[in-house]
Amino acid sequence: MSTLETFDSELRAGAPVGDASEAFDVRKEIYADDALSALSELYGSRDDFAELVARIYRAVHLGFDQRSENLKHFDLRRSQQPDWFQQTDRIGYMCYVDRFAGTLGGVEEKIPYLKELGITYLHLLPLLKPRDGDRDGGFAVSDFHNVNPDFGTMADLSTLAEELRNNDISLCIDLICNHTSDEHKWAMAAKSGNQTYKNYYNFYPNRTLPDRYEKDLTEVFAQSAPGNFTHVEELDEWVWTTFYPYQWDLNYSNPAVFVEMLETLLFLANQGVEIFRLDSVPFLWKELGTDSQNRPEAHSIIRALRALVSMAAPSVCLKAEAIVPSNQLVRYLGRGEHAGKECHLAYNSTLMTMLWSALAEGTAKRISKVLASVPPIPENASWVSYIRCHDDIRWGVLHDETESYSQEEWEAHTQFLSDFYASRTENSFASGAKFQTTDGHEVHGTSGTMASLCGLEKALDAGNDQDIKLSVQRILLMYSIILGYGGIPLVNMGDELGMLNNRDYQNNADFDGDGRWLHRVSMNWQQADKRHQNGMVEQKVFEGLSELIQLRAGLTALKGGQAHVLATANDAVLVLHHRNAQGELYVAGNFSDKVQKFKLPNVNASLEDCRTGKAQAKSVELKPYETIWLQPKH
């Protein structure tokens, strides 16, 4: 029996864990090839490669040694169920610490609220010490080893992580690995001319190279931060800044940067963080003559991190934030011989964007086609399915979505979507806003909360009961589909209560000329108090959503994987199908405001409605925006 197997059987028998370091030794063996092959792709041609590998192993050892006994035990427990994050009761919730509960201690007090909703995964948006002044909602980190003092301390973070773990809630935080703020000590040293730290970033003495790079680069904040390079006055040089001028891109061709980020990851994992959202991963590697996104080396960086973290802290999961077309997106989960060896999870931005597209058009024709063309994901990976998050809905990624639509067609369609959600088309129910539009690029993204984009804001303003009902149905339709798609569904704070846009955002101290604050609302606990008051919108949304969450937890046919799209003769309806060893499930949703009928294709078994247990014929009728979940009769 191998050491790991001995550990496993000891654990199963409930015996105390002996020497966790034996398991560590086994894991080093298991992941050595992956780590080494990824590191050689990045740095193998360097003369000091052997030294570098030794340094990286020292970091891994230190990471393991500094891990608490509790966490080492937890690692072994997780190794008994490596598919824990694919279970159907894993439901995420995302929020800003301050906007949800003031401080980390405040978040701890809200655990009962999260549990009531059925939450088992909590993503707290950036909480490490940011720069002063403008900070991109915390995505401009000045110190990876300290918490934003307004939220608490690193000790508070560890306490919270433990308390969440005791409640079976996994803590997720952002690892902002593409850049630091210009106030980070590395950036400060670089500004003072220290060459070691200048090499942590991408500096250019003049505009020659930046201008050559720019020819192929896109702009993320085209309106508020045009261009990808910033002039650093102290040095009279240019530095690469994909996002805001105060967010300096790190230079991963320098292995010191890789080591720093590995050490940071392990340090934070040792505070009890279980899931890392790897921020902006497509941008990690730069190459002249390309758009410097999704480069093979960016994948090698993630693969190396995955192998090394699997040695020291194997219960940790990596999640890719890559808002790119689906054929690029699935690569962040690993492919070919590396399938399943990059991130464990990736945001399904294609599903998210296409859901908004279907809702605006009132038909599922396009979403069915696009979802059917999404490449399959590795078996040991999973999607994070979401509808809204702290960012805008980025339309541009759709342009490369399937070959069955031409560029011109996508351009016209995304123009329509951008107009529709900004309420600039006739019959739009939405009240969102355009994000980062410029003269040349009318279509970039859309801001707005789930409820406002689904029509609740307009309906409440007009006091129109029928429209209020329809908007609640739309919200529940959208959630029903992400809950029924597969992967970890993510609830964006406030969606569960139908919270509306914050129109006063420009008076908010955090607002730094960034329209995304329209939907980054503060939790309204008075609204939360209405969640069980009969007839209130808050009650309809909250109870509708928690009912779906409970239903899902018991439907193991949904575990892992991704749904297959079934074609029916009715374009208004999206039909998803799951089949695995545990069973079969159909999830259907009507995207139109009319009653729709359709027939499920190729179904032999008798079906029942999962919610009511009632028999259901293969011919189905759905009310406007209604969904149905069906399984073979037991």
Q: Which of residues 314-333 bind ligand GLC (CB under 6 A)?
A: 321
182 binds ligand GLC (CB under 6 A): no
Question: 324 or 563, CB closer to ligand GLC?
Answer: 324
Q: How many whole angstroms separate alpha carbon 493 and alpha carbon 3?
A: 44
139 binds ligand GLC (CB under 6 A): yes
Whose tokens are 């998210």? That residue is: 352
Task: Return the amino acid letter for 32.
Answer: A
Q: How many whole angstroms separate alpha carbon 302 and alpha carbon 55?
A: 18
Q: 410: which 2 tokens? A: 């996508």
Q: Where are the beta strands (DSSP E) in 140-227?
A: 141-147, 170-175, 179-181, 203-204
Which burial class, exposed, middle or buried, applies to 196 when counting CB atoms under 10 A from its CB (0-12, 13-18, 19+)? Answer: exposed
Binding segment (CB under 6 A) for ligand GLC, from list 136-144, 407-415, 531-539, 582-590: 136-144
Whose tokens are 């758009």? That residue is: 291
Question: 447 or 501, CB closer to ligand GLC?
Answer: 447
Question: 261 or 548, CB closer to ligand GLC?
Answer: 261
Cα Rg, the chain, nearest whole Å: 24
Question: 391 or 543, CB closer to ligand GLC?
Answer: 391
Binding segment (CB under 6 A) for ligand GLC, from list 135-143, 339-347, 364-372, 557-565: 135-143
Question: 140 or 477, CB closer to ligand GLC?
Answer: 140
Minimum CB–partner distance for residue 244 and ligand GLC (Å): 8
CB-CB contact of 136 with 247 (8 Å)? yes
Q: Which of residues 368-427 bind ligand GLC (CB under 6 A)?
A: 390-391
Minimum CB–partner distance for residue 276 and ligand GLC (Å): 14
Q: How many whole angstroms separate alpha carbon 92 and alpha carbon 27?
A: 29
Of the candidate residues 75, 136, 361, 571, the single one contacting ligand GLC (CB under 6 A): 136
Question: 139 or 429, CB closer to ligand GLC?
Answer: 139
Minimum CB–partner distance for residue 250 and ligand GLC (Å): 12
Task: Return the amino acid letter for 71.
Answer: L
Binding segment (CB under 6 A) for ligand GLC, from list 87-95, 131-139, 259-267, 369-377: 131-139
Among 159, 149, 323, residue whose Cα is nearest residue 243: 323
- Distances in Å between the alpha carbon of 146 and those of 129, 151, 616? 6, 11, 55
Q: How many whole angstroms separate alpha carbon 393 and alpha carbon 433?
A: 11
Convert 5-38 to b/e letters by CB count within 10 Å (16 or more is b).
Answer: eebbeebeeeeebeebeebbebbbeebeebbbbb
- Residue with the closest Cβ to ligand GLC? 139
Give the residue numbers annotated as catalytic, written as ranges.
279, 321
Question: 393 or 555, CB closer to ligand GLC?
Answer: 393
Binding segment (CB under 6 A) for ligand GLC, from list 7-15, 133-141, 570-578, 587-595: 133-141
280 binds ligand GLC (CB under 6 A): yes
Q: 441: which 2 tokens? A: 């690029």
Residue 204: partners with Cβ closer than 8 Å, 6 or more residues away: 210, 229, 237, 238, 239, 240
Minimum CB–partner distance for residue 419 and ligand GLC (Å): 24
Q: 295: which 2 tokens? A: 């480069």
CA terminus-to-terminus distance, the chain? 41
Q: Which of residues 549-608 bind ligand GLC (CB under 6 A)?
A: none
Minimum CB–partner distance for residue 390 and ligand GLC (Å): 6
Stretch 506-545: interaction string toward ligand GLC, x if CB under 6 A: ----------------------------------------
Question: 246 or 405, CB closer to ligand GLC?
Answer: 246
Among 234, 126, 564, residue whose Cα is nearest residue 372: 564
Minimum CB–partner distance for residue 18 and ligand GLC (Å): 42
Of the candidate residues 98, 279, 495, 538, the single one contacting ligand GLC (CB under 6 A): 279
240 binds ligand GLC (CB under 6 A): no
Task: Return the amino acid letter for 338.
Answer: H
Minimum CB–partner distance for residue 125 and ligand GLC (Å): 8
Minimum CB–partner distance for residue 287 and ligand GLC (Å): 20
Q: Which helix (H) or strand (E) holds 146?
A: strand 141-147
243 binds ligand GLC (CB under 6 A): yes
Minimum CB–partner distance for residue 322 and ligand GLC (Å): 9
Contacts with ligand GLC by CB under 6 A: the residue count is: 10
- Distances in Å between the alpha carbon of 2 and those of 22, 27, 69, 243? 10, 11, 22, 48
- Distances in Å between the alpha carbon of 60 and those of 144, 258, 527? 18, 13, 46
- Residues forming contacts to ligand GLC in the complex (CB under 6 A) are 136-137, 139, 176, 243, 279-280, 321, 390-391
